[in-house]
Amino acid sequence: MSRLGDLIRLERTRQGLTHKQVAKKCGVSDKYLMEVEAGTRIIADDQARRILKTMGMKEHSESDFTLDDIAATVDLQSAVPQLTRAVESKKAVPRQQEKAVAESDPGVAGSIWLDALSGVLKHVPVYNAVMKEVGHRLLPITNGKIEDAPADKVYYFMAPDNDLRGFRVQRGDLVLVVPAQGAVDGAIMLLQTPQGRVLRKVKRVNDYQAMLQKYDEAFESEIKNYNEITFVGRCVRLEADLT
């Protein structure tokens, strides 16, 4: 399935246009447009952008989504049902009220498709060792969750050192953290210490102790009681820079 074709279909659906209407507007055949949306015909990026621009879709929005963000991240097919509901809700708003909203906040006009996508995409923050936000990543949401955790509780943590290099996590790599208040055997976990937040591999020793492992140039470990450890979260995904 073509993601650009999905995006064209999504915008056409948002505007309530038929294939024939869009094709006439953009100077292409309706058969060509249907094949692009169905994914049976490849469309070049510049052609897709021209069609979307002709339909009136802006490349940048008040929500900081771009065509590249969307096409590279989300399964747009999953947004269509939400978009349909959003369009139907918009039709139910009296024209005078709709006009008043658009005049009070011009950024709202034409952004219904973004409202639909907000249910399937989220800007997930990236934090450094002192929990200062230094960026974000776009991740898809499934039933309000990311990696089976509440979407608003998930974030990326930037590895501050090479303490886990032997476990393939190096300084500057990003790990996706989901909440966890107890030890998860064999997992890389984010811990709160008096010196700040650190990453350690955790092995359960018994019901009241865990082994905290690190592996830079040499393997090191220490056994601590659970009441001495503050578990912040479990790392479920790694993003590394190969350059």
Predicted local confidence at residue 61, as pLDDT: 41
Instruction: Give the pLDDT confidence score for residue 16 in this predicted structure.
Output: 84
User: Tell me, what's the pLDDT at 44?
Assistant: 82
Asked whether residue 230 carries a pLDDT value surpassing 60, the answer given is yes
| pLDDT the model gives residue 89 | 54
pLDDT (tens digit per residue) in 17-46: 899 999 998 999 999 999 988 888 888 878
What Å distances lie between residue 72 and 7, 10, 57, 84, 127, CA to CA? 11, 15, 18, 22, 23
Do 112 and 137 belong to one domain? no
CATH at 34: 1.10.260.40
User: Who wins on pLDDT, 161 or 110?
Assistant: 161
From 94, 117, 140, the end of a domain falls on 117
Looking at the 3D structure of the chain, how many domains does it have? Answer: 2
> What's the predicted TM-score (pTM) here?
0.59
Lowest mean pLDDT among 47-61, 91-105, 202-216, 227-241: 91-105
**Same-domain pairing of 86 and 154:** no
Q: Which domain holds residue 109?
A: 3-117
Q: In the predicted model, what is the mean pLDDT of residues 237-243?
A: 81
Compute the C-alpha angle 190/196/201, nearest 5°: 30
Whether residues 96 and 136 fall in one domain: no
Instruction: Give the CATH number of the domain where residue 127 resides.
Output: 2.10.109.10
Among 86, 118, 119, 92, CA closest to 14:
86
Whether residue 170 is found in the same domain as residue 204: yes
> Tokens in use for 130?
């002192």
Report, as an integer, the average pLDDT of 184-205: 94
Measured CA to CA in angstroms, residue 124 lies from 119, 151, 171, 176, 217 at distances of 13, 8, 20, 9, 32
Cα–Cα distance, 116 to 10 (Å, whole number): 10
Residue ending a domain, among 90, 117, 144, is 117
